[in-house]
């Protein structure tokens, strides 16, 4: 449920440290050069081979194999501080901050260590301490949030849209009807982070558990028959390896009221995996959802919905511009074939840092749906529909004054649904302006 679903991506990004590909110890290694501290000058051929293997395995992401190589060299020649610093870097990447500090401190305490190397080691130790605090200081994080806004909708007859109710509930209509609405949202998220890393193959991962409770209301000012209330509860585990990947599995339940009636209960399971690449990431996600409708008019609409897809995101201009695109395939099996459908959805989006503390964004998507059974008389044909959606908007974060820590958001969304069953043809324009804050 867009806007209320657990944002596992954002939470995982909050957990990332400033671990770089070679941390700060590459600077140290360059400073040491071919001095008496280098492995090549002091180790025999076998030890040098092990040292180079440790470097290679570490750069390939095989951190625990790298640790073993460096430890073997040091067990034979413990005076090789160059190797010890590389070992400290490997421990740092496995998120074993305590051992990384211990190994670096040994080099720092050695009276033979050059003064310029000491400075680099001190910088490294400061970075380790900072990252260690970020990982361990807050095992439990609570984040309440609120939002309030005004909306103008040119076609309330179309029913709940897909930005609030997954898949949307497009309703047959005779003519569009416009109305204004007040939109309210309030919720709280909780994130638990394990204090120690978990070994997953050659990677050191962190475990988190994320939960959320949220209430959303859209109250129209003229006709409350179109009001929408959604209560969401979500929870699930997540894992992440800094600079490599993150994953999450979220279970979610949504209670939906439409007008003065209970509309539906949705329960879903959503796994996702994101792999980091140079200046971007690739994400696979899926959803399995059970949709149980309550109204008599929705008889036969109960369904099982599933979807999966891939998306690619890249950042440009030093992170000021982000582009994302993807494709999803979906299938809905309903009790009555006229509600069963399958199809594809394509999307492309962009986000630009346009001014200090402000961003603008745009998104286009196209969803094609083909239905299994014919719609009611007099049409008696299987629905074949295309939904085109265009959205532009902005966000501005206030950093001072009465609105300090609040975000101002605005958006305009145009939706066009084209169907071979004319009563499902419609256009819709939604304009929104609101304030939100996370505490």
SS3 annotation, 333-373: EECCCCCCEEEEEEEEEEEEEEECCEEEEEEEEEEEEEEEE
Quick one: pLDDT at residue 204?
A: 79
Quick one: pLDDT at residue 1?
A: 41
- In terms of Cβ atoms closer than 10 Å to its own Cβ (0-12, 13-18, 19+), residue 51 is buried
Neighbour count for residue 191 (Cβ, 10 Å):
22
Instruction: With cut-offs at 50, 70 and 90, classify the pLDDT of residue 162.
Output: low
Q: CB within 8 A of 401, min separation 6: which ones?
A: none
Quick one: pLDDT at residue 314?
A: 94
DSSP string for residues in 176-234: ---EEEEEEEEEEEEEEE-SS-EEETTEEEEEEEEEEEEEEEEEESS-GGG-EEEEEEE
Rounded distance, CA 69 to CA 257, Å?
A: 61
Among 310, 270, 313, 264, residue whose Cα is nearest residue 289: 270
What are the two backbone dihedrals, phi and then psi, of residue 56, each rounded to the nearest 5 degrees?
-60, -50
Whether residue 43 is predicted with pLDDT greater than 70 in this model: the reply is no
- In terms of Cβ atoms closer than 10 Å to its own Cβ (0-12, 13-18, 19+), residue 355 is exposed
| Angle made by CA atoms 268, 271, 273, in degrees to the nearest 5 | 160
Quick one: pLDDT at residue 145?
A: 97
Whether residue 362 is predicted with pLDDT greater than 60 in this model: the reply is yes
Rounded distance, CA 149 to CA 154, Å?
A: 17
Helices and strands, number each (H, E), in the chain: 8, 15
Among 168, 183, 207, residue whose Cα is nearest residue 301: 168
Quick one: pLDDT at residue 86?
A: 92
Residue with tokens 């000058």: 41
Rounded distance, CA 317 to CA 320, Å?
A: 5
Is the distance from CB of 143 to CB of 174 less than 8 angstroms? no
> For 32-46, 296-310, 363-377, which range has the lowest pLDDT when averaged over its residues?
32-46
- 217 compared with 115, residue with greater pLDDT: 217
Q: Is 73 helix (H, G, I), strand (E, B) or coil?
A: helix
| C-alpha to C-alpha distances, 313 to 247, 275, 346, nearest whole angstrom | 16, 11, 14
Whether residue 39 is predicted with pLDDT greater than 60 in this model: the reply is no
| C-alpha to C-alpha distances, 379 to 91, 175, 240, 295, 334, nearest whole angstrom | 68, 18, 51, 24, 20
- How many CA atoms does the CB half-sphere of 48 hold within 13 Å? 9
DSSP string for residues in 375-395: PTTTT-SEEEEEEEEEEEEEE
Neighbour count for residue 232 (Cβ, 10 Å):
21
247-292 per-position pLDDT tens digit: 999 999 999 999 989 999 999 999 999 999 988 999 999 999 999 9
Among 332, 434, 431, residue whose Cα is nearest residue 383: 332
Terminal Cα distance for the chain, rounded: 22
Is the distance from CB of 259 to CB of 227 less than 8 angstroms? yes
DSSP string for residues in 281-309: EEEEEEEEEEEEE-SGGGTT--EEEEEEE
- 338 compared with 12, residue with greater pLDDT: 338
Domains along the chain with CATH numbers: 25-136 (1.25.40.10), 142-438 (2.40.160.40)
This prediction has a pTM of: 0.76
Structure-token pair, residue 303: 């369904």
* CA-only gyration radius of the chain, Å: 27
389-432 per-position pLDDT tens digit: 999 999 999 999 999 999 999 999 999 999 999 889 999 999 99
Q: CB within 8 A of 38, min separation 6: which ones?
A: 32, 82
Instruction: With cut-offs at 50, 70 and 90, classify the pLDDT of residue 340.
Output: very high
Mean pLDDT of the chain: 86
Rounded distance, CA 30 to CA 66, Å?
A: 20
Whether residue 110 is predicted with pLDDT greater than 70 in this model: the reply is yes
> Percent of the chain, pLDDT > 90?
60
Among 20, 17, 15, residue whose Cα is nearest residue 89: 20
Quick one: pLDDT at residue 170?
A: 67
Q: At what angle do helices 63-76 and 81-93 cross, to 10 degrees?
A: 160
Whether residue 35 is predicted with pLDDT greater than 90 in this model: the reply is no
Quick one: pLDDT at residue 166?
A: 60
Structure-token pair, residue 326: 């993807």
Rounded distance, CA 242 to CA 21, Å?
A: 10
């Amino acid at each position: 449920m867009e806007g209320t679903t657990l944002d596992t991506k954002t939470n995982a990004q909050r957990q990332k440290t400033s671990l770089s590909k070679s941390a700060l110890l590459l600077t140290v290694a360059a400073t040491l050069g071919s001095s008496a501290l280098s492995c090549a000058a002091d180790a025999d051929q076998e030890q040098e081979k092990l040292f180079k293997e440790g470097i290679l395995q570490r750069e390939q992401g095989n951190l625990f194999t790298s640790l073993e190589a460096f430890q073997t060299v040091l067990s034979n020649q413990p005076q090789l501080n160059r190797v010890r610093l590389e070992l400290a870097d490997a421990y740092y990447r496995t998120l074993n901050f305590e051992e990384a500090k211990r190994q670096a401190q040994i080099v720092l305490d050695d009276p033979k260590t050059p003064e310029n190397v000491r400075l680099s080691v001190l910088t490294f130790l400061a970075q380790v301490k900072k990252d260690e605090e970020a990982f361990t200081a807050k095992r439990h994080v609570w984040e309440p949030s609120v939002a309030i806004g005004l909306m103008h909708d040119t076609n309330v007859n179309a029913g709940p849209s897909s930005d609030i109710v997954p898949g949307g509930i497009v309703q047959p209509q005779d003519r569009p009807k416009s109305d204004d609405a007040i939109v309210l949202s309030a919720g709280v998220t909780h994130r638990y982070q394990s204090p120690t890393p978990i070994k997953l193959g050659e990677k050191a991962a962190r475990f988190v558990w994320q939960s959320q409770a949220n209430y959303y209301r859209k109250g129209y000012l003229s006709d409350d028959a179109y009001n929408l209330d959604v209560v969401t509860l979500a929870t699930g585990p997540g894992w992440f390896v800094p600079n490599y990947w993150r994953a999450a599995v979220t279970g979610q339940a949504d209670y939906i009221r439409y007008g003065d009636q209970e509309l539906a209960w949705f329960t879903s399971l959503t796994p996702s995996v994101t792999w980091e690449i140079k200046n971007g990431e690739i994400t696979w996600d899926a959803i399995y959802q059970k949709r149980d409708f309550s109204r008599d008019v929705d008889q036969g609409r109960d369904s099982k919905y599933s979807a999966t897809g891939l998306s690619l995101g890249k950042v440009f201009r030093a992170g000021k511009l982000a582009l994302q695109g993807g494709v999803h395939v979906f299938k809905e099996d309903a009790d009555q074939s006229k509600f069963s459908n399958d199809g594809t959805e394509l999307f492309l989006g962009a986000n630009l840092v346009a001014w200090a503390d402000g961003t603008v964004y745009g998104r286009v998507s196209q969803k094609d749906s083909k239905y299994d059974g014919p719609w009611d008389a007099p049409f008696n044909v299987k629905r074949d529909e295309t939904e085109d959606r265009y959205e532009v908007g902005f966000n501005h974060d206030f950093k001072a004054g009465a609105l300090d820590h609040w975000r101002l958001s605005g958006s305009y969304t145009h939706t066009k649904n084209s169907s071979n069953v004319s009563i499902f043809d419609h256009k819709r324009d939604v304009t929104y302006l609101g304030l939100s804050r996370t505490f």
